[in-house]
Structures are given as structure tokens and as C-alpha cells.
Structure 1
């Protein structure tokens, strides 16, 4: 018997005693009493709904076939104890799993190593999708979010990458998602524990860096030989919380968090540290070679201060990992 069922049974038993003693129906509505007991125990009361990216995400029961888009989302679901409820994952080519999750991560079915198509997604029979952004649900390659909702497949988007808040998102998006997913997926105790750990870890970083000047840094990524500035929103907030200042903040359009960038423009900024995203070992090596070749005159390259970070380290719980790791790289003597 689940904790929710036990709570309901206790309430119903109590009501039976009232009926026997008084010889008349109890005044309390059974459904309301069961819901109240469930709330008190920390369980989700269904149907449940939360706000996400300007929409309402509603589930009528706890999802059992969740599809995860992006490695950080898969790891988040594993952290919440949902390994047996993940029907598959996509975009696994974006980053290897963190060691703490590697064993369970590799047991999750890979529906597509990169972008997934409509047929493959629907064949997985998802009843919930956790995605890294809205960009894939364009009605062409994949159904729109509204179309999926009509099929009984609600979609929750990482709140740091909601279109209207991408350029202003901060690390608080992680705890926002933990609370929302705890409710929707009926894992509120695990979500509260992860939230507490997140706040504790970030607080420790803040304490260690108190009084230290910010390091001038640039966060970039190279895709198909094109250099991109990663700035604004969660990217710059991670740099800030890690004891840095993203010198590329003024190169990205308002409301966005990335933009094409020339090597010359980056060289003009002359950052003391270059932080670059990579998706795998080959991409990491190629990106470092490109940066050393095209930005040889910058203080970062001359001082050999190039920091490689997995692309997946900038969403959900991995954003917290990324902040801690980056802080130790920018200010190693503080830890």
C-alpha cells in the first residue's frame, strides 16, 4: 500500500467511526478529507497542474512513461528516483553522464542520440515529456506542444530556457523546476531534498568567494566552425555565481542568451579566462585548438586559462555542478 493509500485508508476508517457513533453521515466530504490527508503526507493530489513558460502543464495521474530531452534532464529524473518511469531519452550525444548517474543513465533507452522524429517519439508511448526548450516542437519534425497535450502528452520545459525569460533566467530556475516536477511526478520529498542540497551547495560557493574580485571571463561555444558568445540568462548567472564576469554580456541581443561572434570581436574583449562548451572528447580537442589558434594574443590563451565545460552543465542540477566546478577553476585557492 502506498503512502497515499495508507493516508486515505486512515481517513476513511476515522469517518466510519463517526458514522457508527452518531448514526448519521459525517459532515466532512470524503474526497476533501482524502485530499487533505494526501497533502499533509506530502503526496501529490491529482489532477495536478503547474505554470510553465506561460502555459499550464496538467497531469491527471502520475506519469509512468517519461521521455527526457537532454542529458541533464535525464539525470534530474534519476535524482528524483524515477529510473523505472523513464521510457527513453534523446540528445545523448550532447554530453556523457555524470559519474554519479552513469550506471542508471546507461540503462535508459536511447530513442535518438540527437534530434528525434515524430514517429520515434510517439512510438515510445510517452505520457510526459521533460524538454530543454520549445524549439523542437515546431509542428513539423515534432508535434507542437499543444498538439501533444491533445494526445495526452504534457510537455514541461526547463524554465531557464522558456522563450520569454531565456535572457534573464538565473540559477533559481533549478529550484523552480524541482518544485514543479515534484508536484507533477509525485516525488515531492525527493524534490525538497534536492532543493535543500542545491541551496546549500550554492551558499557554500557564495561564502567561499566573499570579498573576491570577479574574474573577467568569456563563455563561448564553437559549432560547425562558427564561434558563438554564450551570455545573458543562466550562462552569465553561472559565471557570476562562480566568481566571474562575462565580458560578452553586451554582445548578445536582449532577451537571448547566444549570438554569433567573430574571433576579432572576442580578441578585443581580451578576457583573462576563456570558458568553452563541448559535447564530447573530439569536440573538446577541436574547440581548444581553434581557440588557441585564433585567440593566441589574448590574456586567456597567453596565461593558459582555458576552461572546458560539458554543454549539458548549464541546465537543471548540472548547472549547480557547473557553478561549483567553475568556481573552483576560477578561484582555486578559495576552496
Structure 2
């Protein structure tokens, strides 16, 4: 199990996965004569202050996180996906398409791996994946004709979003990028209905929730997005809402004085769920959450994927908080 990787602005360094063999390298794209823009194009979409210009729908997409595929599938454009990065760290869903290849086993992919893959869009999971700190950069990708969109607007040196509405904005942006704005509007409407139904399960009683993770004997608190977006949407109190970073190490002394009603424990890999819960219980034996048996696991694979997957996670949290 490892600390949450998403926050490039956090004091926690980005964790990269263990070495896994690179697969599926494609030949660089050859130059072709300019063609007229497709119907509905050109469009420009900004992400983390960087504008992407599109004259047609992307047809060779690399995902910064494998489960982003679910969002593109909801839009009906998942056939555009060529590969993903970070494949060596998290187990893929059992039904993940075999034709989608692992471009890089690293969270922040190398320049060589990305240039070889020759995507027309890198749908990043975090701006830290394209900052060029020994890895691929915006400039590298621009020179190769690759646009970048950062899902969730997880931008370096900028506050993370605190509202689940960021998911709707992403779907709308992707609808524009892929030329399916009407489909995107339908998806957004459905997602809003799902969030409203999940929030309606809240009986109205005050409830405080803390997201924690224990790794290598250290305790980490998650007070930012997506925890903030989920808890705000469900109208419960986020114990760590005032932390200066999305994901922050806290001392055992700080942990001991916490009194949340519920503790959600981030874990990576189903085999690590109970161990993570047991670690938190051992560190906070006197907290109301532990005494009342209200310490639950939160799969980081669901938690970090963003987009449509994040709404599924929100529904799980709602059921956990209000139905147990």
C-alpha cells in the first residue's frame, strides 16, 4: 500500500510504480497533408492553463490512469483509446480490453515511451505526469502533435477543486474534444441524478468523516479533492477540510486527538484493505469511529480514477455512511 499519488502540490512525492516491461510501442506518426476541420471543429479546450486545439476527434488516446476508460466509455468514444500509463502499479479491471496496451509502467511516463506511442491526446490524471521532471513534458508532447487534458484539473501549484461538479465539467470538456456534446450533456444529467440520489440517503444527522491512510508506519490525512468533493456532495463534515495540502502527513499525536464519527481508510489492492483498517484501529483505539465499528476501506483505484468512476465511489461512500 502506498500514499495517495495525485497531489503534485502536496508535500508527498509522486510515487511511481515498480518496473514492468514496456509494451505496445507504436511507430511515430508520419506527416500528412493538412485537411479541412471535421464538422463541429475546430474547438479549443483549456486545461491547467494550457489550451488544446482540436480539428477533429482524437483517435489515438493514452490514458494517465487505466480506469479513465470508464468515462470515455460513457461518452461512447472508448474505441479511441490506444494505451495507458501506470499499468504496472494498479491491477486492471478484469474486463479491461486486451487491445489497450501499457505504454509505460510509470506514473509519470518517460519521454521515449510517450513519443513512441504517438498519441494525439494524453488524458492525464495529474499535471505531475507532464511536468518534464525527468519525464515527458508539455513541450515534448506539443512537438509531437499531442494535446494534453488533465482530468479533474489536478494542476501543479494550484488549489485542488473542492466540488464534485468538477466531474461534470470534465465530461462537458471531453464532449467538446471528442465532438459529442449532446452525449456529454446526457451523461452529466445522469451523473447529477446519481449524486442527488446518493445525497438523499443522508438522514440529516450530524456526521464527521476522516480519510486516512497508513503507510510505512506513517499516517496521512486526505482533506482535499476528491475526498472534499465527495463529502461536500453528501453534506457531511470533512474532518481535514482545513489542511493546507490535499494529502498531508500527520503525527500520531495529531491522529490521537481526532474524534471522527467515521474513518475511511484508503488502501491499494484488495489484499491490503483489512491491514489498512487494522493499522488505523491500532493507532486510534479510543476514537468514536473505532469504538463504534465505523472504520471502512476505500479502494484507491476507485478513488483516484476521477470522472465517472468517482461518482461510483461517491455512491459507495453514501451507502457506507448512511446504510451501515
TM-score of the pair, normalised by structure 2: 0.80
Tell me the SS of whatever aligns to 2:221: strand
- Please name the residue that 1:279 is paired with: 268
> In structure 1, which of residues 152, 162, 183 is the aligned counterpart of residue 176 of structure 2?
183
- Please name the residue that 1:83 is paired with: 78
2:171 is equivalent to residue 158 of structure 1: no
Q: CA deviation at 1:203?
A: 1.6
Q: 1:225 to 1:92 in 2, by over 3 A?
A: farther
- The structure having more radius of gyration, on CA atoms, is 1
- Please name the residue that 2:232 is paired with: 240
CA distance in 2, matches of 1:58, 1:329: 42
- Please name the residue that 1:200 is paired with: 193
> In structure 2, which of residues 115, 126, 150 is the aligned counterpart of residue 122 of structure 1?
115
- Please name the residue that 2:12 is paired with: none
2:306 is equivalent to residue 306 of structure 1: no
1:151-178, CA deviations, whole angstroms, 9 ceiling, x for partnerless residues? 2101000134233654343111111111
- Please name the residue that 1:20 is paired with: none
- Please name the residue that 2:221 is paired with: 229
CA distance in 2, matches of 1:297, 1:239: 23
| Root mean square deviation, CA, Å | 2.4
CA distance in 1, matches of 2:49, 2:83: 26
> In structure 2, which of residues 78, 87, 90 is the aligned counterpart of residue 92 of structure 1?
87
Q: CA deviation at 1:65?
A: 0.7
Q: Which runs of 4+ in 1 moved over 6 A?
A: none
Query: Residue 236 of structure 1 contacts residue 249 of structure 1 at CA under 8 Å; is this kept in 2?
Result: yes
Q: CA deviation at 1:181?
A: 0.7
Q: 1:225 to 1:190 in 2, by over 3 A?
A: farther
- Please name the residue that 1:111 is paired with: 103
Q: 1:328 to 1:75 in 2, by over 3 A?
A: same
Alignment of 1:141-152 (within 5 A): 141-152=134-145
2:323 is equivalent to residue 328 of structure 1: no
Unpaired stretches in structure 1, ≥5 consecutive residues? 1-33, 39-43
Query: Residue 208 of structure 2 contacts residue 238 of structure 2 at CA under 8 Å; is this kept in 1?
Result: yes
Query: Residue 71 of structure 1 contacts residue 312 of structure 1 at CA under 8 Å; is this kept in 2?
Result: no
The structure carrying a bigger helix percent of its residues is 1
CA distance in 2, matches of 1:225, 1:141: 29
Query: Residue 74 of structure 1 contacts residue 105 of structure 1 at CA under 8 Å; is this kept in 2?
Result: no
- Please name the residue that 1:288 is paired with: 277
Tell me the SS of whatever aligns to 1:92: coil
Q: 1:199 to 1:82 in 2, by over 3 A?
A: same
* Number of positions where the alignment pairs a residue of Structure 1 with one of Structure 2: 286
TM-score of the pair, normalised by structure 1: 0.77
Q: 1:93 to 1:270 in 2, by over 3 A?
A: farther
